Amino acid sequence: MNVEEIFQVIVQHTREIIPELEEHAFRFNDQLKELGANSIDRAEIIALTMDSLSIQVPMLDLSGAQNMGELATLFHEKL
Amino acid sequence: MKNYDPADIVITGAGIITAAAQGKAAVTDTLLQARSAFAVMQRPGRQHNTAFVGAEIPEIIYPAHFSKKLLRSITLTGGAALVAVEEAWQEARLSGVPPHRIGLITGGSNFQQRELMQIIDAYREKPVFIRPAYGISFMDTDVCGLCTEVFNIRGMSYSAGGASASGQLAVLQAIQAVQSGQVDVCIALGALMDLSFWELQSLRTLGAMGSSKYADDPAAACRPFDRNRDGFIYGECSGAVVIERMTTAAERQVQPYAAISGWAMAMDGNRNPNPSYDGECAVIRQALEKAGIHPKDIDYINPHGSGSLVGDETELQALQDCGLAHAFINTTKSITGHGLTAAGMVEVIAVILQMKAGMLHPCRNLEDPADPSFNWVRETLQHEIRHALSLSFGFGGINTALCLRRL
């Protein structure tokens, strides 16, 4: 699975948690917080993504991600 | 001039959802027509090689202003709470009250058992991935948080558990919050008790819930005070009322439904589910005394009437010995089913809806009353309620009573 594919998994779960983003054209530099995801929403998106990717990453290891693209890259490094 | 005092505690708004209907107008119709929704339950998590009978809400209709994001994360209990509070809020015009002067008491505890069980089952083999939101939603106060966020309530809010008397307990606590000056207006919510098959099975094994006697005729299963009853039948429901003083209601030009003239709570000193004649008589007498009325003044009773074998007998004996056998009496649970944490609230709302309609609803399935000398409402009838008594009893020896007076 490449970074783009992981990004699409994150997008899928973001749309699940925030249905209002169904029509949003996601880009790598999108920030979940700016898109209206509060801290619980962000934790939910990350937990759902880890479940889909079957990987466990400590939340602390993901805290450096500044946007959704960086988040996808960090997940890719852990695969 | 109506018969009220400025210090009267009044109900200025109400919202309700039952399995048969949503909203006061539709619920009033279903009550007066004794229309119910009992069937073998279908909601995921309700059966496990069983065929438990109950009444389930087919769909909750939400106001258009609730966001998709809000509705995505909502539980059955949370959704029912929101539509009940919304209806009560609009009616009492609470947008005109400063948010920090509004409170909310959620009546009930451990009321999302089915939903929590579903989450745990889904993640049993992969617990590290459990949804983080479970860390919030497993607490009953999540419903307080949900409602206070949606309605911007900034006064006080907490959940109050009183088993099947939780709905009335929420009313009692809301009265105290208003009388103490903690808030000017307090919403009392009876939370929808969302049972899983674990609770249903144990309640049946306890002998509290009805047996499979009516498995082939679910509509006949719920029959409080009938000689052929054999336990309560569960029904999903929720309700909310707005409690305040007559003075604040008058300031917003809101016409109250009724005054809450008397109330009482007493414990039996008994952890078990069995009823107590003494405890029931105690709250009836205390509530009447507080209301400053005599038993003969009560013209309508909305009893606890769960359909329990011993419970119904005990309640009738208590009513008889408190001098209340003359009053009209019907059984809201025969139509809605037993909402447990919500029951007391739904029944208080049933009282004020009947008061407003000038009608009393019939008892469903009361074919052979346990005591025919009582003034049972067998068919829908016209009656102007002046003084009503509503009773709730809960496991653990909890007894509550409310007197409601027409204004």
Looking at chain A, which residue has its C-alpha nearest residue B136?
A40
- Kindly report the nearest CA distance between residue B74 and chain A, in angstroms: 11
Give the pLDDT band (50/70/90) at residue B73: confident
Confirm or reject contact between B139 and chain A (CB < 8 A): no
The domain tally of chain A equals 1
What angle in degrees, to the nearest 10, is found between the helix axes of A39-53 and A3-17?
130
Taking the Cβ of residue B149 and every Cβ of chain A, the question of whether any pair is shorter than 8 Å is answered with no
The CATH number of B9-251 is which of 3.90.1170.50, 3.10.129.10, 3.30.70.80, 3.40.47.10?
3.40.47.10
The chain-wide mean pLDDT, for chain B, equals: 97
Residues whose CB is less than 8 angstroms from the CB of residue A14 and which lie 6 or more positions away in sequence, other chains included:
A21, A26, A32, A35, A37, A45, A68
pLDDT higher than 50, residue B59: yes
Check residue A45 and give its pLDDT: 96
Are residues A40 and B128, on separate chains, in Cβ contact within 8 Å?
A: no
Cβ–Cβ below 8 Å for A40 and B67: no
pLDDT at B2: 59
Per-residue pLDDT reduced to its tens digit, B336-373: 999 999 999 999 999 999 999 999 999 999 999 999 99
User: In chain B, which segments carry CATH 3.40.47.10?
Assistant: 9-251, 258-406
CATH number at residue A66: 1.10.1200.10
B12 pLDDT band, cuts 50/70/90, is: very high
User: Could you give the residue ranges of the DSSP H alpha helices within B220-276?
Assistant: 246-251
CATH number listed for the domain at residues B258-406: 3.40.47.10
Q: Which domain holds residue A12?
A: 3-78
**Mutation for A interface: B123, B124, B129, B137, most A CBs within 10 A:** B129
Identify the residue with better confidence: B30 or B6. B30
Rounded to an integer, the average pLDDT of A22-34 is 97
pLDDT surpasses 90 at B327: yes
Q: How far is B109 from chain A (nearest CA, A)?
A: 23
Mean pLDDT of A23-40: 96
Model confidence band, residue B148 (pLDDT cutoffs 50, 70, 90) = very high
Residue B1 has pLDDT above 60, yes or no: no
B130 has a chain A CB within 8 A of its CB: yes
Chain B residue closest in CA terms to A36: B69
pLDDT category of residue B335 using cuts at 50, 70 and 90: very high
Distance CA B100, CA B153 (A): 7
Average pLDDT over residues B291-298: 98
How much is the average pLDDT of B80-100?
Answer: 98
- Whether B128 sits inside 8 A of A56 (CB atoms) is yes
Does the structure show a pLDDT above 90 at B4? no
The Cα of A4 is separated from the nearest Cα of chain B by a number of Å equal to 22
Residues of chain B positioned with their CB less than 8 A from the CB of A18: 69, 72
* CA B390 to mean position of chain CA atoms: 11
- pLDDT tens-digit readout, B164-207: 999 999 999 999 999 999 999 999 999 999 999 999 999 999 99
pLDDT band at B3 (very low <50, low <70, confident <90, very high): low
DSSP string for residues in B155-215 = S-EEEE--GGGHHHHHHHHHHHHHHTTS-SEEEEEE------HHHHHHHHHHT-B--GGGT
List of chain A residues whose C-beta atoms are within 8 Å of the C-beta of residue B127: none
**Residue type at B99?**
P
Q: Which residues of A touch B126 (CB under 8 A)?
A: 51
Euclidean distance between CA atoms B203 and B209, whole angstroms: 5
Q: How confident is the model at residue B7 (pLDDT cuts 50, 70, 90)?
A: confident
- Run of H or E including B235: strand B234-235
Share of chain B above pLDDT 70, in %: 99
